[in-house]
């Protein structure tokens, strides 16, 4: 993947994970309507929130915890990224994996979020039956360069007071986000086990944090 294409992907992912200051809405909102609303509000936030524009990781993490999680099945995202190793993990290890994976995503795309400006998008017609429990919502992100197809995979959840559609994977130009990390994580688990993966993620997050601090001081 060349650098220009990689940057396009990162910007598209930044738009997709930037549902960073949205209020809670009705649980029965249609999946394509949900994606349409969240993306519009995300792009508006990128244009107006100075901390988001600056790539403030602590601010992004707080917004993620309070605003984004209601629209994500993050446990499923993490379990899918970890792969078979998830079944081996203890409850405490799973908790650590979720926390470190979330931090990794936020720190990886914090800088790109600050650059995701002057973007527009459109949602393609949804192809799904009323009884479907999983759907793919396809969108097209437009900015500089060629348009980027960005797809969301959603599931319809029920019970525990959190019924509604939730996102559990993203696809940019034919590459599913969770699948990308699964291959990396599998290598770590095969070599060092689940604890080894947790250690690697923790160290990577600390390294990314140090780089961000260094950049902020310049």
Tens of pLDDT, residues 193-208: 999 999 999 999 999 8
Give pLDDT, residue 19: 46
Distance from C-alpha of 98 to C-alpha of 212, rounded to nearest angstrom? 22
Q: Please report, rounded to a whole number, the percentage of residues in the chain having pLDDT higher than 70.
A: 78
Exposure string (b/e) for 175-207, b if CB count within 10 Å is 16 or more?
eebbeebbeebbebbeeeebeebbebbeeebee
3-217: CATH number: 3.10.450.710
Q: Residues 153, 177, 125, 68: is their CA dihedral positive or negative? A: positive
- Quick one: what percent of the chain has pLDDT higher than 90? 42
Contact present, 136 and 165 (Cβ < 8 Å):
no
- What's residue 40's pLDDT? 84
pLDDT value at 216 more than 90: no
**Per-residue pLDDT reduced to its tens digit, 2-42:** 445 555 555 555 555 544 444 444 447 899 999 998 888 77
pLDDT tens for each residue of 46-70: 778 888 778 787 887 777 777 777 8
């Amino acid at each position: 993947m060349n650098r220009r294409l990689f940057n396009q992907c990162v910007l598209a992912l930044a738009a997709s994970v930037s549902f960073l200051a949205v209020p809670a809405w009705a649980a029965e909102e249609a999946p394509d309507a949900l994606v349409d609303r969240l993306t519009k509000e995300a792009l508006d936030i990128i244009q107006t929130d100075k901390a988001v524009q600056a790539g403030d990781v602590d601010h992004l993490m707080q917004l993620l915890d309070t605003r984004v999680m209601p629209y994500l099945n993050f446990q499923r995202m993490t379990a899918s990224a970890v792969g078979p190793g998830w079944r081996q993990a203890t409850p405490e290890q799973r908790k650590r994996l979720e926390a470190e994976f979330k931090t990794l995503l936020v720190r990886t795309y914090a800088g790109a979020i600050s650059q995701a400006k002057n973007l527009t998008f459109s949602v393609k017609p949804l192809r799904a039956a009323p009884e479907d429990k999983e759907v793919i919502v396809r969108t097209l992100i437009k900015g500089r360069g060629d348009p980027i197809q960005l797809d969301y995979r959603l599931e319809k959840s029920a019970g525990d007071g959190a019924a509604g559609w939730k996102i559990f994977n993203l696809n940019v130009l034919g590459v599913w986000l969770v699948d990308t990390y699964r291959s990396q994580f599998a290598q770590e688990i095969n070599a060092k086990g689940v604890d080894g993966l947790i250690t690697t993620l923790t160290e990577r997050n600390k390294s990314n944090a140090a780089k961000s601090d260094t950049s902020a001081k310049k």
